[in-house]
Structure 1
Amino acid sequence: MAEWRSQAGLTKTALAEALGYTPQWISQVEAAKSIPSKEFAENLDTYFHTNGLFQRLWKRIIDTRYQAVLPPGFPEYQEREAEASQARIYQLTLVHGLLQTEKYIRAVVGPKQDPDTADRLVAERLKRQQILTRENPPYVWFTLDEAALRREVAEREVMCEQLAHILSLEERTNISIDVVPLSAGYYPGLAGSFTILGFTNAPDVVYGELGGQGMLIQDPRIVAKFAVTYNSLRGDALRVAESRALITKVMEEYG
C-alpha cells in the first residue's frame, strides 16, 4: 500500500482523508501492526483502480493469519478426522468443537482475534461439524466432564442454547454422549482432553493439545494406552440416560 500511495504522491494524511480513515490507522496498516478489513481493501481498490489487487492481498493475509492461530498439528488432525469411521472423544474443560453452537464458538475464539479471522474460524468450525450429519457419518462417542458444561464462557442464554444443542445431537443414532459428574472426584481424565480416531483400513491415531501445541500420535503402543484410559474414564461417567438428565438439569439452571 505504501508504494501505491507514494507513486500517487499522497501523504498518509491525504490518503486517510480521501478514504475516511485516520492517518494513525494508515500508519498501522503500512507497518503491518494492524490487520486491514475487507472494506478497507475494497476502498483501496476503488481509489487506486487496482481491479481487486488489495482484496486479493487481504485474503492472503487472512488465510495466513488463520493458519497461524491453529495449533501446530491440528490441520493434519482435521484431515484425518474427516476420514475417520469412528471417534472416541474426551473433553475436560470446554464443550468439544464438534458440538459447539455458532455463538459458543464465537465466545471462545472471538476475544483474541480480529473480526475477519474470528469469522473465518467460526465458519471453518461449523463446516467441520458437517461430518456428524453427512451421509455415512462416523460413529462418535463423546465423554464430557461436567465442568465443561458449567464453565460459563458466554452469556447464560448462549450456554442454555449450547446445552440444548448437545441434547439434540445426542438423539442422532451415530452420536453417544455421556458425562463424568463432578462428584466422581479424581479420575484418569483429569490429565487432559484427547481424541482417538478409528479408521476402516488404517491404524487408530490419537490427538491432543498441550501448551498450545497439537500432537498427532500414531505409535500403536501409545494409542493403545489412550484406549485403555478412555475405557477407564468412561467407567466414571454416568450412563447415557443419566448424562442426558444431568445436561438437562444444568441447562435449566442456566435458564
Structure 2
Amino acid sequence: MNDQRRSPTVRRRRLGIELRKLRESNEMTAQDVTRSLEWSPGKVTRLEKAQAVKPMVVDTRLLLDLYRVTSDDPRYDELVTLTRQARQRGWWNSYKDVLDDSYVEFEAGAARIHGFQLSVIPGLLQTPEYATSLIRGNLTRDPTEVERLVQLRMRRQELLSDPHPPYFWTIIDASAVMRPFGNVEDQRAQLQRLIDTDHMEHVNIQILPLDAGPHPGLAGSFVVLDFPDEDPSLVYLETQQTSIYLEESEELQRYGMIFQHLSAMALSPDASVAYLKDLAGQLG
C-alpha cells in the first residue's frame, strides 16, 4: 500500500494497541501510568483505545521512557513515527459535518474489504441517483445534508480507482438489486454500475438469489476489514441506532465462516453478472 492510502485512524489504532502491549508487559495498570506521569484520569485509556484524535509525540516519548524502551531500540523510532502518522488529517475531515462514525476512516486504510449486504447495494458501488434515493428514504430531508452525504459517498468510491486499491469482495442479497427506486433509467444505470465491475480485477461481486432460501446473512449486513502491516482486522456492523466494531479473534472467525458460507450459497461472479444483465434487460 502506498503512503497516500495509509489512514491516520488505522495508524492511531495500531499505536494504541502497541502502547497497551508495552504497558502490560511492564505489569502496569492505566492508573499506575497516570500516577507516574501525573496525567489526567482517562488519558492513558484514550490513547490505547485510539480515542485521542491527535496523539502527541511528547506523550509517546514519555510512555516509551516509562516502559523502558530506549532510543536505540527499533521500537522507539517506529512508535514515534506511528504517532506522527496518526496526527495527519484524512480527506474525510472535510465531511465532518455529516460524518458521525469512523467507518470511512477505517475503510480508507483497508487492504481487503469483504462483506455481505442484505438490503442495499454497497456504498462503494452506488450511483449518485441510488445514493440520493437511499438517503432520502432514510428520512433525511434537508437538501444540503442529502447533497453532502451523496458527495461523501462518491468520494469514498475513489478508493476503488486508486493506483493501489483494496481487494473488494461483496455478496449482495438479490432483494437489494431488485428493489425499485427513482425511474427506470436510474435503475438501469445502477445495475450497469455493478455489471461494469466485471472488468475490475480487484472487485468481486456475488448475488445471493432469493431461491437460496434462509441463510445466516438474514441476521444483518456486515463488513470485514483487513489491514496491511499485520494490523488486526475488524468486523463492522451497522444498525439503525449505532455502529458496532468487533475485534476479538472469535468474532472475526465467526464472520469469516459466515462469509464463506454465503459465498458458497451465492451465484458465482460470472453467473452474478449474467443475473444482473438479465435483470437490467427486464426493465425494458
Shared fold (TM-score, shorter chain, > 0.5): yes
Residue 190 (structure 1) aligned with residue 222 (structure 2): no
Residue 81 (structure 1) aligned with residue 107 (structure 2): yes
User: C-alpha distance in 1, partners of 2:183/2:252?
Assistant: 37
Residue 250 (structure 1) aligned with residue 279 (structure 2): yes
User: C-alpha distance in 2, partners of 1:97/1:254?
Assistant: 23
Match of 1:123 in 2: 151
2:130 to 90, 104, 111: 104
Match of 1:59 in 2: none
Residue 147 (structure 1) aligned with residue 175 (structure 2): yes
CA root-mean-square deviation: 1.7
Identity of aligned residues (%): 30
List gaps (5 residues or longer) in structure 2: 1-94
1:90 to 116, 120, 133: 116
User: C-alpha distance in 2, partners of 1:210/1:117?
Assistant: 20
Match of 1:30 in 2: none
Cα deviation, residue 134, structure 1: 0.6
Cα deviation, residue 146, structure 1: 0.6
Runs of 4+ that moved beyond 6 A: none
1:66 to 98, 101, 107: 98
User: C-alpha distance in 1, partners of 2:181/2:252?
Assistant: 31
User: C-alpha distance in 1, partners of 2:96/2:123?
Assistant: 21
Match of 2:240 in 1: 211
User: Which of 1 and 2 has greater Rg?
Assistant: 1
Cα deviation, residue 153, structure 1: 2.8
Asked whether the 8 Å contact 1:77–1:216 carries over to 2, the reply is: no
Residue 138 (structure 1) aligned with residue 166 (structure 2): yes
User: C-alpha distance in 1, partners of 2:97/2:225?
Assistant: 28
SS at match of 1:66: coil
User: C-alpha distance in 1, partners of 2:122/2:164?
Assistant: 21
Cα deviation, residue 213, structure 1: 1.3
Match of 2:91 in 1: none
Question: What TM-score results when the alignment is normalised by the length of structure 2?
Answer: 0.63
Question: What TM-score results when the alignment is normalised by the length of structure 1?
Answer: 0.70
Residue 177 (structure 1) aligned with residue 205 (structure 2): yes
Cα deviation, residue 113, structure 1: 2.4
Residue 160 (structure 1) aligned with residue 188 (structure 2): yes
User: C-alpha distance in 1, partners of 2:128/2:237?
Assistant: 23
1:176-200 CA-to-partner distances (Å, cap 9, x unmatched) read 1111111101111111110000112
User: C-alpha distance in 2, partners of 1:253/1:182?
Assistant: 17
Give the paired residue count.
Answer: 188
User: C-alpha distance in 2, partners of 1:86/1:254?
Assistant: 34
User: C-alpha distance in 2, partners of 1:136/1:117?
Assistant: 31
Asked whether the 8 Å contact 1:144–1:179 carries over to 2, the reply is: yes
SS at match of 1:110: helix
Cα deviation, residue 64, structure 1: 7.0
Cα deviation, residue 164, structure 1: 0.3
Match of 1:237 in 2: 266
List gaps (5 residues or longer) in structure 1: 1-62
1:41-62 CA-to-partner distances (Å, cap 9, x unmatched) read xxxxxxxxxxxxxxxxxxxxxx
Cα deviation, residue 244, structure 1: 0.7
Cα deviation, residue 110, structure 1: 3.1
